[in-house]
Every structure is written in structure tokens, then in C-alpha cells.
């Protein structure tokens, strides 16, 4: 075992799959020689050569289209969108084309593409770098959306995503890249896609989150514990599809739920989770399912991030509201 | 046959230069008609901008500036082109093109607000035809075709000019922008500042084309490659492009230049992808050094004059930072208020929530 940051675990996952399968190709803007602007692909070009790990011209729609073509010819592309705010440039390739390839060809073709991309607030990037746009992809049929919150999960989930024969958008929260290390096995392992994980057990309320908000929720849970409230924290890990079973099991025990997302409120993942809970477990609920989200504005200018992003206080407030309902 | 056509085209795109590295005029016929005062003003602007760049880098390192993309090395390319514009021409800049905006009339204070990430950084003064620096590479290019068509339809004698880099010239928007402007005979100028790298990726890896300028051919518009370290050549080429634009032919200008600094101040390390030999090769072509030599030979410049500019720049930057420090921090309610003309119901509700939060 080694101590790894999330970014190291991500590099390790790509290295593992580049070794395992000669069809795996890793490419994007600055991913080759430079090793990526966050160093996620550091050393991979040296190790596997320029034919397997390479820079592309500066065009996201080109990168998406290239992946489709390479996918059609039997390769397993791991493409990077340098920041997820640039996904708009390649929205057609991702949700208009890749996500529909299997369907359109009646199952003849498949798209084993992994789209890696950093996102998430708290690091004061310029506009259209940090936006939580996962909901746009989650609304599109035919593509999975995976968002790890720990180094261990990141490695196992990325390996599973690369091996998966359908497109996966794999989003990496920038704030988590180097915020902590944990034990990550050096050998290969996978983590099932479409499966949530209980990150903390508790009996009074269920907090459901993903990405950096898992840590915000865990912190809130620790603080609530001092006040005698025990929160269970579920990390969705895959946000499309949503693992409703794990959520229901928890909610049937706690009878209360708060869903936490960094994204704006309108039409988000939290709304889907809340709806799924009321669909299936309304008679188990002692209070309405509440949401913690950002307000419905454009992602804020850097200097306003701190006041805009949801935080522990927001989570605790909502938890108390469902407890005292 | 096809091979010959390509070769013929490539050979025609030779770099246009007026002032060489030694500060000597090598292309007398092309020398632009600039008064002594104008020549001095161009020099003042370049020197001022170099100082500003140095200050911005150190302010960034002290955590007092925020987002900043260094410009040293590109002064002639940036300021020579802007200098040929009319006050009412439109500029659609990229993230690095803050100097053109400032010399077009935006205050330094506002440039700093943009860097810090404050919405007031985007509030252009009335009558300033500037769009906020574009972060999405290429988006500004196709918008330029739209602004140019708008100006034409309004019967204005003005042009729209846009800037991108060698990397930006790989985006679909770049081709679409040139093609649309050409199709509508719209008064547009497309400047590609080729500083040879898109973050770490060298220009040779962007395209099989020998020059970026030749990409104009496919769009049916004018194209020219210019020595981007020669402020006179950049000025002359843009001036001509402006005239042609108003007559219905857009131009693609490729300026050959170099950024001395890192890509941005957010952790880029140029030593990973550039050699120090290449750096020093380009420093020998420095736009300020050669223009200084030229002006000194004409007795239009002196050390005193230069020191005056340096002092002035330092003082104005200091004052602008002070002014920026005094701007009230943004509130979520400010952001909500800027979303729509009339707040829809969800935002109205959130406005009330955040007003209450902020009053605590
Ligand atoms: C659509 C889009 N893709 C990628 C980026 C990230 N990015 C910012 S600058 C840059 C390189 C740009 O190079 P170039 O066009 O040559 O301009 P330069 O920075 O050299 O002036 C990249 C890839 C972005 N801002 N927008
Ligand atoms: Mg460049």
C-alpha cells in the first residue's frame, strides 16, 4: 500500500490500464509532454510513448470526435477535457454522438470512451473552469457520470470506467486533487460503477452527497455528533444512474434525508435523489427531503466563491430542520 | 497538381517586417505614416505595459491580483495592432489581451477587478466598445463576425478586431468566424498571436499547415504573416487590414511573437516544454529594444524619457490597486441581481433567503 493523493491515484489508474490493455489511449490538451495542467498524466508519455499518450490540437470538439473515431476502430480512448467548463465545446460529441452510438447502431457499435475532466469550486479559477455541469450529462441517456471523492475510490472507479464498454464521464473535483492522502493499493482493483458507498454510519438522518460535498457532509456530521445527532453519510460515487437501493436502505433506518450538491438548485442531481426517495419510501419519512445547493446563478466570479458555495453550516441547518420538523 | 497548389500557397506567406532586430528599417516602402509624437507614444505604451506586466506578476505572487496571463514579449503585437484602430472600433479580446483593452480606454483599476474575479471588472464604461476578455478559446472569434456584420448593417465606419493564439487557431470557431465574416463581407480583423506555444503544446503539433496566415485562403479572405516583435510592421498590417475590412474584405493577421513568462500565474512551468536557448533567441528579437534603437537613432527617445514612463506606470499601478482594494466584496445577492432583467420566481425566493443571510 502507498499513501496517495487523488491525483496520484488517478495517474496510477491510467498507468494500470495503459499496461493492461494496448488499446487504451490517453490524450488531450497538454496531457503529453507537460503531463497535464494538474500533472494527472505525469510520466505516462515517457513510460508508454507518444503513440499511446499524446497531445491534441486545441479543440474540444475535435478531441471528442477523435475519440469516437478511435472507439469505432477498436481503441479504448481516455480523453481529457482540460476543465469541465469546456464541455460545451464538445457537447455534441459526448451526448449527441457517443452516448447514442450503441442505440443508433442497434447494438452493433459501442463507445468505450472515458472522458476525464476536472471541475468544482473553491480553487478560484477563471470563468467556466469550475462549474458543476454534471447535471447536463446526467440528463442525457446513454452515458454514465462518475464522481469520486477519495483517492481509493478514484483509482478503482477510474479503472472500472476505462474497462466499461460504454461512455463514462469521470469528473474530478479540483479541490480534492491534493487536499489529502490515503492508503491506496499499488496493485489493480476495481470498484463497481453505479454503486453508492456509506462513508459514515448514523441513525438519525441520511446525508446524500458526491464529490467535495461528501467531505462537507462528513464534517457537518462530526459537528452534529457533538450535539447528539448521528448522521449517516452516503457518497453516490456514480451520479447517473443513481444507486437508489443503498439510499433507501439508509432512509428506512433514519427516516430523514438531506441531499447535498455543489451545483445550482434547478434540475439537479439532488432533485432526482429527493424524488426517488419520495417515490419509494414516502411512508418511512418523518420529514420532507431537503436539499442543500448553490443558488441558481452562474458559477460565481472567483472573489465570490467563498460566499456562494454550500458549506457545513448550510448542511447543519437543513439537518436540524428535518430533525425538528 | 494538388501538391503544387499547396506549395505555391505556402511560399507566398513570407513574414512581413519593417524594423529588424537591430532597429534598422528594412522595408522602406512599407514604413507607416506616423508622426514623431505617435512614434513616441507607441514606445511609451510598450514600456508602460512591460512595467505593468512585471508589477502584475509580483502582485500575483503576493496573492494580491488573482488570475493573470503574462504579456512581456508580445507588446508590439498587442499594442501595434490596437494603435491602428479608431476609438469606436470594437475589440473582442482573449484572456491575455488586457493591454489592448486598456489602451483602448479601459481603466487599469478595472483590469485588476477582472483579474481578481469581481463582476465590476466586466462593467464596461459607456461608449467603450470592448467585450470582456474571453476565457473559452475561440468563442470570441465567431462573435467578431457578428459584431462586424452588425457594424456594417448599422452603416458604421468601424471594424471589429479579435485576438486569439496559435492554439486558438485550431478551434472550429476560428474557421467559422473567418468564413462567416468573408461570406458577409463584414468588416472584421482576426489577429492570431502566434507565440509558438499553446500552454505546453508547440505550434507544429497544432496543424500540418506551415503558417497560420495561409488559413485565410480557404475562407477567401486576406491573410498575412507579420513579425510580431516589430511594432511598425504590426501597425502597418493592421492599418491596411482595417481599410480593407471597411471595403468588405476581412483579414487574418498572424503575428510571430513570444511570451517570455509562464502561460498564466497559476502553476505553469515553461521549463517543462521550452528550452532556455529558445527563450534567449527570442529575447534578442525584443520589440522594445529594437524600437528603442530606432527611436534613439532618430533622436526621439532617451533614458530620461524612458524613466519618466517607468515612474508614471509604477505610480498609476499603485493607485489602481489601491482603488481596487477599496471596492466592496461581492455578495451572493449581487450575483443573483445580475442574472435577469426581471428575477424569475426561483431567484426571487433565493434573493430573499440570501438577503436575510447577509444581514446577519
Ligand atoms: C475552449 C478552451 N479550451 C481550453 C482552454 C484552456 N487553455 C487556456 S489557454 C490555452 C492555450 C492557448 O494557447 P494559444 O491559443 O496559443 O494562446 P496563448 O495562451 O499562447 O496566448 C488552453 C488550452 C480554454 N481556456 N478554453
Ligand atoms: Mg500561443
Residues of chain B with pLDDT under 70: none
Residue A189 lies in a domain: no
C-alpha B231 – ligand 2 centre gap (Å): 19
Residue A29 lies in a domain: yes
Whether A61 has its CB under 8 Å from any CB of chain B: the answer is yes
Residue A50 lies in a domain: yes
C-alpha B194 – ligand 2 centre gap (Å): 5
CB A61 within 8 A of CB B172: yes
Co-location of A313 and A169 in the same domain: no
Whether A302 has its CB under 8 Å from any CB of chain B: the answer is yes
Report helix, strand or coil for A183: strand
Residue in B46, B45, B67, B47 with CA at minimum distance from that of residue B56: B67
Q: Between B121, B167, B331, which is nearest A58 by CB?
A: B167
Co-location of A132 and A270 in the same domain: no
Return the CATH number at A81.
Answer: 3.40.50.970
Are A33 and B200 an interchain contact pair (Cβ–Cβ within 8 Å)? yes
Nearest 5 degrees, angle CA A20-CA A23-CA A26? Answer: 90
Residue the block writes with cell 464529490: A211
CB B91 within 8 A of CB B129: yes
Q: Which residues of B touch A33 (CB under 8 A)?
A: 200-201, 272-273
Which one of A184, A211, A240 terminates a domain? Answer: A184
CB A109 within 8 A of CB A72: yes
Residue A192 lies in a domain: no
CB A173 within 8 A of CB A10: no
Q: Between A57, A266, A301, which is nearest B119 by CB?
A: A301
Residue A10 lies in a domain: yes
- Domain range for A141 is 2-184
Whether A35 has its CB under 8 Å from any CB of chain B: the answer is yes
Whether A88 has its CB under 8 Å from any CB of chain B: the answer is yes
Whether B348 has its CB under 8 Å from any CB of chain A: the answer is no
Distance CA A319, CA B14 (A): 68
Long-range pairs for A275-282 at CB < 8 Å and ≥24 separation? A276/A242, A276/A244, A276/A247, A277/A244, A277/A247, A277/A248, A277/A251, A280/A244, A280/A248, A281/A248, A281/A251, A281/A252
Closest chain A CA to residue B68: A126
Distance CA B127, CA B214 (A): 35
Distance CA A158, CA A12 (A): 10
CB neighbours of residue A143 within 10 Å: 20
Number of domains in chain A: 2
User: Could you tell me the CATH superfamily of domain B2-328?
Assistant: Thiamin diphosphate (ThDP)-binding fold, Pyr/PP domains (3.40.50.970)
CB A188 within 8 A of CB A20: yes
Q: What are the beta bridge partners of residue A198?
A: A234
CB neighbours of residue B355 within 10 Å: 13
Co-location of A22 and A79 in the same domain: yes
CB A94 within 8 A of CB A61: no
Sheet holding A238-240: strands in order across? A53-55, A24-28, A76-80, A114-119, A168-173, A144-146, A238-240
- pLDDT number for residue B1: 83
Domain-by-domain residue ranges, chain B?
2-328, 330-360
B198 lines ligand 1 (CB under 6 A): yes
Minimum-distance ligand 1 atom for the alpha carbon of B166: 16
| Tens-digit pLDDT profile for residues B218-271 | 999 999 999 999 999 999 999 999 999 999 999 999 999 999 999 999 999 999
Co-location of A144 and A281 in the same domain: no
Co-location of A110 and A230 in the same domain: no
Co-location of A220 and A164 in the same domain: no
Q: Alpha carbon A61 to chain centroid distance?
A: 21
Are B354 and A295 an interchain contact pair (Cβ–Cβ within 8 Å)? yes
Co-location of A159 and A217 in the same domain: no
Distance CA B27, CA B18 (A): 5
Return the CATH number at A278.
Answer: 3.40.50.920
Co-location of A107 and A222 in the same domain: no
Ligand nearest to the CA of B174: 1
Interface test with B, best of A59, A81, A121 (most B CBs within 10 A): A59
- CA distances B22 to B232, B288, B294, B360, Å, are 14, 11, 8, 64
Distance CA B83, CA A242 (A): 57
Co-location of A180 and A218 in the same domain: no
Co-location of A170 and A24 in the same domain: yes
Distance CA B35, CA B39 (A): 6
Sheet holding B251-256: strands in order across? B90-92, B160-165, B188-194, B251-256, B222-227
DSSP states of B204-240: GGT-S-S-STTHHHHHTSEEEEEETT-HHHHHHHHHH
Catalytic residue among A129, A173, A215, A284: A129
Co-location of A28 and A163 in the same domain: yes
Which one of A142, A162, A184 terminates a domain? Answer: A184
Q: What does the pLDDT profile of chain A (325 residues) look like in tens digits?
A: 899 999 999 999 999 999 999 999 999 999 999 999 999 999 999 999 999 999 999 999 999 999 999 999 999 999 999 999 999 999 999 999 999 999 999 999 999 999 999 999 999 999 999 999 999 999 999 999 999 999 999 999 999 999 999 999 999 999 999 999 999 999 999 999 999 999 999 999 999 999 999 999 999 999 999 999 999 999 999 999 999 999 999 999 999 999 999 999 999 999 999 999 999 999 999 999 999 999 999 999 999 999 999 999 999 999 999 999 9
Residues counted in chain A: 325
ipTM, two decimals, is 0.96
Which one of A184, A218, A250 terminates a domain? Answer: A184
Co-location of A73 and A119 in the same domain: yes
Closest chain B CA to residue A89: B136
CA distance B284 to chain A (A): 26
Amino acid at each position: 500500500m502507498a499513501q496517495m493523493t487523488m491525483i496520484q491515484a488517478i495517474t496510477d489508474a491510467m498507468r494500470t490500464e495503459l499496461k493492461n490493455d494496448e488499446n487504451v489511449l490517453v490524450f488531450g490538451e497538454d496531457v503529453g509532454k507537460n503531463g497535464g495542467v494538474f500533472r494527472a498524466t505525469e510520466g505516462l508519455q515517457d513510460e508508454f510513448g507518444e503513440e499511446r499518450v499524446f497531445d491534441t490540437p486545441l479543440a474540444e470538439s475535435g478531441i471528442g470526435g477523435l475519440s469516437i473515431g478511435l472507439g469505432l476502430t477498436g481503441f479504448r480512448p481516455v480523453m481529457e477535457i482540460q476543465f469541465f467548463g469546456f464541455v460545451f465545446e464538445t457537447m455534441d460529441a459526448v451526448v449527441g454522438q457517443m452516448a447514442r452510438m450503441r442505440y443508433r447502431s442497434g447494438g452493433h457499435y459501442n463507445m468505450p470512451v472515458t472522458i476525464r475532466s476536472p471541475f468544482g469550486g473553491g480553487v478560484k479559477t477563471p470563468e467556466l473552469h469550475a462549474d458543476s455541469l454534471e447535471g447536463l450529462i446526467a440528463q442525457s441517456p446513454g452515458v454514465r457520470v462518475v464522481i469520486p471523492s477519495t483517492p481509493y475510490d478514484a483509482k478503482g472507479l477510474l479503472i472500472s470506467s476505462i474497462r466499461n464498454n460504454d461512455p463514462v464521464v469521470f469528473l474530478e473535483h479540483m479541490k480534492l486533487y491534493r487536499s489529502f492522502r490515503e492508503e491506496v493499493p499499488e496493485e489493480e482493483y476495481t470498484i463497481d460503477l453505479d454503486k453508492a458507498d456509506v462513508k459514515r454510519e448514523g441513525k438519525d438522518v441520511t446525508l446524500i452527497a458526491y464529490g467535495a460535498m461528501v467531505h462537507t457532509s462528513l464534517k457537518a456530521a462530526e459537528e452534529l455528533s457533538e450535539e447528539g445527532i448521528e448522521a449517516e453519510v452516503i457518497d453516490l460515487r456514480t451520479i447517473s444512474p443513481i444507486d437508489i437501493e443503498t439510499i433507501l436502505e439508509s432512509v428506512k433506518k433514519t427516516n430523514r434525508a438531506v441531499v447535498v450538491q455543489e451545483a445550482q438548485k434547478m434540475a439537479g442531481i439532488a432533485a432526482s435523489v429527493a424524488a426517488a426517495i419520495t417515490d419509494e419510501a414516502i411512508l418511512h419519512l418523518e420529514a420532507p427531503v431537503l436539499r442543500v445547493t448553490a443558488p441558481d446563478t452562474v458559477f460565481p466570479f472567483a472573489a465570490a466563491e467563498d460566499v456562494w458555495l454550500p458549506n457545513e453550516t448550510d448542511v447543519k441547518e437543513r439537518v436540524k430542520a428535518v430533525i425538528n420538523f | 497538381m494538388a501538391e503544387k497548389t499547396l506549395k505555391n500557397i505556402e511560399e507566398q506567406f513570407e513574414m512581413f517586417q519593417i524594423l529588424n532586430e537591430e532597429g534598422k528599417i528594412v522595408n522602406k516602402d512599407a514604413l507607416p505614416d506616423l508622426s514623431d509624437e505617435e512614434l513616441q507614444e507607441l514606445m511609451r505604451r510598450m514600456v508602460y505595459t512591460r512595467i505593468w506586466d512585471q508589477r502584475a506578476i509580483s502582485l500575483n505572487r503576493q496573492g494580491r491580483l488573482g488570475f493573470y496571463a503574462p504579456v512581456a514579449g508580445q507588446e508590439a503585437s498587442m499594442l501595434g495592432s490596437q494603435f491602428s484602430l479608431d476609438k469606436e472600433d470594437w475589440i473582442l479580446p482573449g484572456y491575455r489581451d488586457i493591454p489592448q483593452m486598456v489602451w483602448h480606454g479601459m481603466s487599469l483599476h478595472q483590469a485588476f477587478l477582472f483579474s481578481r474575479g469581481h463582476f465590476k471588472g466586466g462593467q464596461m464604461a459607456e461608449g467603450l466598445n470592448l467585450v470582456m476578455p474571453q476565457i473559452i478559446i475561440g468563442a470570441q472569434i465567431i462573435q467578431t463576425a457578428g459584431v462586424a456584420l452588425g457594424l456594417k448593417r448599422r452603416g458604421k465606419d468601424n471594424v471589429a478586431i479579435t485576438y486569439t493564439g496559435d492554439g486558438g487557431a485550431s478551434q472550429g470557431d476560428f474557421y467559422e468566424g473567418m468564413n462567416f465574416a468573408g461570406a458577409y463581407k463584414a468588416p472584421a480583423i482576426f489577429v492570431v498571436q502566434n507565440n509558438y506555444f499553446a500552454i505546453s503544446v508547440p505550434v507544429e503539433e497544432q496543424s500540418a499547415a506551415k503558417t497560420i496566415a495561409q488559413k485565410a485562403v480557404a475562407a477567401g479572405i486576406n491573410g498575412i504573416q507579420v513579425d510580431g516583435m516589430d511594432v511598425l510592421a504590426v501597425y502597418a498590417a493592421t492599418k491596411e487590414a482595417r481599410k480593407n475590412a471597411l471595403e468588405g474584405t476581412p483579414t487574418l493577421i498572424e503575428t510571430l511573437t513570444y511570451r517570455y513568462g509562464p502561460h498564466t500565474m497559476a502553476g505553469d512551468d515553461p521549463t517543462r516544454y521550452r528550452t532556455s536557448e529558445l527563450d534567449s533567441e527570442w529575447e534578442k528579437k525584443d520589440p522594445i529594444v529594437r524600437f528603442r534603437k530606432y527611436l534613439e537613432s532618430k533622436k526621439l527617445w532617451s533614458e530620461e524619457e524612458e524613466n519618466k514612463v517607468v515612474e508614471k506606470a509604477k505610480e498609476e499601478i499603485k493607485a489602481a490597486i489601491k482603488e481596487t482594494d477599496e471596492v466592496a466584496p461581492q455578495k451572493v445577492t449581487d450575483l443573483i441581481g445580475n442574472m435577469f432583467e426581471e428575477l424569475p420566481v426561483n431567484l426571487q425566493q433565493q434573493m430573499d433567503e440570501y438577503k436575510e443571510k447577509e444581514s446577519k
